[in-house]
Structure 1
Amino acid sequence: MKRKHIILILATATLLAISYISTKLRMLQTPVANRGQYSNQEITTGKSTDGMLGTTLVPMITNSTKNERINYHESEHTEERLELNENVLRSEDGGISLAWDQHGNIETFYGWYPQELQNELLSRYKNPCYMIDGKLYCLPYFFLAGMPKCGTTDIWSKISQHPQVAAAQKEPHWWTRGMIKGSLKLRGYMYQRTINIRKELVRARYDKKATKMIVGDGSASTFWENLLWNKLPSMDKTPSTMKIIASILPNAKFIVSLREPSNRMYSEYLAFQPTSKKSVTEYEQMVHEGISLLRECFNRSTQRECIFERQKRPKDYPFTRIRLSFYSVFVEEFLKYFSRDQLFLVRMEDWQTSCKQILPQIYKFLELDPLPKSSIFPICRQLSRHTNQHSYRIVGAQPYRIKQVIRNFVAPFNEELANIMQDNRFLWDDVE
């Protein structure tokens, strides 16, 4: 046992020595004129404030950048002023995560006022980043969202291969679940977004190209889930996910993938329904019952209530989720808080056949440097991910009669979407 302890101590000491030497070498490579922006790099080893282990390069800010430092902790004044406000979301430890006024406008976000947070952005970076307690943390520059089984995993994989896009966990579901349920605090979420971009951005003190690095969030639920509506009874005064994000990241860009609704629903059923229960007969029954229940809900509540808020919505079969096929409702919610030029809407059917044309358009939308065709073509030739081919072979194709039932039900919403986007492709008349 003692021998193991000695080996462990020696290994730890060796790692620390290597980290220290590599840091000093990087500093020596830094032009003298640029060293004044940051003081010596601090090596933080062990358990960080994010509750994660590791060795992280952390920039120390000097007097010239003190105005860029944020005190992350909520002030007593903020707590005292908001504790009588019923429109408050609290974390598991009782702290205020989010507070909004009687009109649904965000008052504070983890102790920050939205406008103050905008003023704290580090202007030298393209990605929204901040100095929090002397460390660099970032929020997403873009969101890749969409409905289940609309190809977001494949699109995320291909976007992430651009050299100016930092790798990150695709689906943290923080804005729709983690924040609401308190399972991950803001600093932990920002750490996840920053872990693979921090070193590049710190390097920006002597390499201006590094300031072009961006990081995204690929949680599909960001576009359609509004769990906050289930937390409080005053639904009409509760902000939607889009409104919360717009208050904090008003310049965020959204890439949203959609798919012909009946095909999307069947693919979702095949992907998530337990294998032993999958059958065309069961699926058809679920479709008819789901449509019937939604029609009843529409007769007594608004469409928005039935689609957004679970307490108002009737039983929702989790493996068809017809409500997620009302795309126009979600796009309209987005356009209440963001401009049209912040949305890149892509049909999955087009992505599958025209990746070589669409991927450069997405890169341009994200304001990334263009890649040559010699780079684009190999990326697009990579196989799509998370397909249901095995389940299709076992259960069979979706019968045409079921497709028509779904298409007739969602047709008004497709027409609304086509009008909003001024694009008849969203009628899906060209899809079998």
Structure 2
Amino acid sequence: MADRLSAVLAKIVQKRKLFLFVVSVVYIATAVLVYFVINDKNYDVTPRAVRHLGILLRSAIQKDLNKLRHDPDNASVVSPSVDRVGTKRDEGYSCEVKTEHEDLLCDVTPPKFLPDFKNPCWRESGHPLQCLPYFQLIGVDKSGTTDLFYRLVRHPHVLSNRGYIGKETFWWAWKRYGLDLRQTVPHRNFQYYVNFFSEASANIGEVSDESGFHNLITGDGSPIDFWDFRGWKDIPQNAGLRDPRVLTPHLINHVNPNTKFILLLRNPIDRLYSDYFFLPIKRICSPESFHEAVSRSFGILSSCLHSNTLRHCLFDKDLHQHFNENARLNIGFYIVYLLEWLKVFPRRQFLILRFEDYINDIPKYVNRVYRFLGLAPVSLQQTAVLGIFSPIHENVTKKKVKARPMMNRTREILKDIYQPFNVELSNILKNEDFLWS
């Protein structure tokens, strides 16, 4: 009996060793492939490779899409109370993992907002009035967010913040994790974020209407918040997980559940070309170099998908840096990121517009945003005085202005990559304009 048991155990050990060996070989092979793709300047994309990547991408997203289709109106498709990540069932998350940095879900008590303020504001003993943004313009990069935010804060009831160009705080995606575009920075806590709105808070507290209601609002216009989730491993509730359960939407929901979100989405192909010239990385930019960068990013993503989920590949910190150095192909999978937000917030809290529509009729869409935010209409005379509809105000990329058009072969590759995702996006939004066909 003992001999038979020993033989069974020996077989189990051998199988386990074989399994670990196979996993190690796959991991090393993938790492080597990614390395050579990144460093091969002549790497190019074949039609067969495009078709193969398309199959991988479509299969990767179906699971998340199926979660949403049962509730098209999405009154909160997967609510935070259901999507549990720990044992603290009354609140839906665990506080068992301790780190040296602030745990937003466990260390920060959600503020109790004052009822006589339109903007989410609160008072604490020994502190002046403090506020969080009423709205967040969360995306997406190179899609007119600077222009739109400029016009929003020209409204007499909307205030800017103390962030970059009065718009971007970089806190939710970067500073709270000690991240920047390509380097590490000090970790910043929640109070650091609140301080971005200190001047706006003072103005909000001083202004009220005849009834005493404070109707001024402020906002955060950081487009990276929509898609840059690479800090997820530093969220304690994700400890030990291969793919995240808690992301930026969960954290925002914890402190400010009624936030209104605005999204400007651009044809992902044109967005990528503009972004390539915009990113502050020293390189010679041309249609040819862009094609090479797209090819390498394509190879990096393809290699990752052989042994990982799409979420893992798009949210991975190391791959994020490789995309930065080549072409940020990852940003254009809009539906993947939108699903993460719709798992937490109701669809009614989002206004999603196309950049192409906005730029062709700015007054129409600015007024639409005003209505979404519940702002008072502005007369034609006021718009002229306030400069709301002045010439386009955006971060124009000088290198892009001088560049030749994208190569047709590059555009065709990108069309094959993005189109299945545009289809799913248009289905979720029930608007065929988001096909960009």
Q: 1:198 aligns with which of 199, 202, 212?
A: 202
Name the counterpart of 1:255.
262
Is 2:100 aligned against 1:97?
no
Q: Equivalences for 1:10-409 in 2 at 5 Å?
A: 85-86=96-97, 88-91=98-101, 96-98=102-104, 106=105, 108-110=106-108, 112=109, 114=110, 117=111, 120-134=112-126, 135-168=128-161, 169-181=166-178, 183-204=187-208, 208=211, 211-231=214-234, 232-236=239-243, 238-272=245-279, 274=281, 277-311=284-318, 315-318=322-325, 320-376=327-383, 378-388=387-397, 390-409=398-417
| Closer, same or farther: CA 193–391 of 1 in aligned 2, 3 Å | same
Equivalent-residue separation in structure 1 for 2:203 and 2:272 (angstroms)? 41
What is the identity, as a one-letter code, of the residue corresponding to 2:413?
V
Change (3 A) 1:132 1:238: farther
Contact residue 294 and residue 326 of structure 2 kept, 8 A: no
Distance (whole Å) between structure 2 residues aligned to residue 155 and residue 313 of structure 1: 27
Residues 362, 203 of structure 1: alpha-carbon distance in 2 compared, 3 angstrom cutoff = closer
Distance 1:319 1:267, change over 3 A: farther
Query: Quick one: structure 1 residues 423 and 203, their matched pair in 2 at CA, closer, same or farther if it must change by over 3 Å?
Result: closer
TM-score normalised per structure 1: 0.70
For the residue of structure 2 that corresponds to 1:174, the secondary structure is coil
**Cα separation, 2, equivalents of 1:319 and 1:162:** 39
The amino acid across from 1:162 in the alignment is H
Shift of 1:97: 3.3
Q: Where in structure 1 do 4 or more consecutive aligned residues deviate above 4 Å?
A: 206-210, 273-276, 311-314
Give 1:183 shift: 3.6
Offset, 1:209: 6.4
- The question of whether the paired residues in 2 share the 8 Å contact of 1:175 and 1:241 is answered with yes
One-letter amino acid of the structure 2 residue matched with residue 176 of structure 1: A
1:240 and 1:331 mapped to 2: Cα distance?
12
Q: Which has the larger strand fraction?
A: 1
Offset at residue 203 of structure 1 (A): 4.2
Question: What is the identity, as a one-letter code, of the residue corresponding to 1:411?
Answer: Q
Secondary structure of the 2:361 match is helix
Aligned counterpart, 1:63? none
The DSSP-based 3-state class of the residue aligned with 1:145 is strand
- Which deviations, in whole Å up to 9, do the C-alpha atoms of 1:344-365 show, x marking residues without a partner? 1111111110111111110010
Cα deviation for residue 149 of structure 1 reads 0.8
Equivalent pair of 1:180/1:227 in contact (CA under 8 Å):
no
Q: Which runs of 5+ in 2 are unaligned?
A: 1-92, 179-185
Measured after TM superposition, the shift of residue 418 of structure 1 is 0.3
Instruction: Give the drift of 1:84.
Output: 7.9
Q: Quick one: structure 1 residues 97 and 345, their matched pair in 2 at CA, closer, same or farther if it must change by over 3 Å?
A: same
Cα 1:275–1:292 change in 2 (3 A) is closer
Greater mean deviation of Cα atoms: 410-419 or 237-246: 237-246
1:425 aligns with 2:433: yes
Query: Greater relative contact order (Cα 8 A, min sep 6): structure 1 or 2?
Result: 2
* Structure 1 pair 412–420 and aligned structure 2 pair: CA distance change class (3 A): same
CA–CA separation in structure 1 for the residues paired with 2:231 and 2:212: 39
Could you report, residue by residue, the CA deviation over 1:234-293 in whole angstroms, capped at 9, with x for unpaired residues?
244551011111122111000011111111111011112546521222111110111122
- Aligned 8 A contact 1:255 1:345 in 2: yes
Per-residue deviation at 1:147? Answer: 2.3
Cα pair 1:265 1:321 within 8 Å, conserved:
yes
Answer whether contact 2:134 2:217 (CA < 8 A) is retained.
Answer: yes
Change (3 A) 1:313 1:203: closer
Report if aligned partners of 1:151, 1:348 keep a CA contact under 8 Å in 2. Answer: yes
Change (3 A) 1:147 1:90: farther
Percent identity among equivalent residues?
28
1 CA distance for matches of 2:121 and 2:100? 25
- The answer as to whether partners of 2:145 and 2:264 remain within 8 angstroms in 1 is yes
**Which residue matches 1:25?**
none
Whole-angstrom distance in 2 between the partners of 1:220 and 1:127: 21
2:130 aligned counterpart, secondary structure: strand
Letter in 1 for 2:395: H
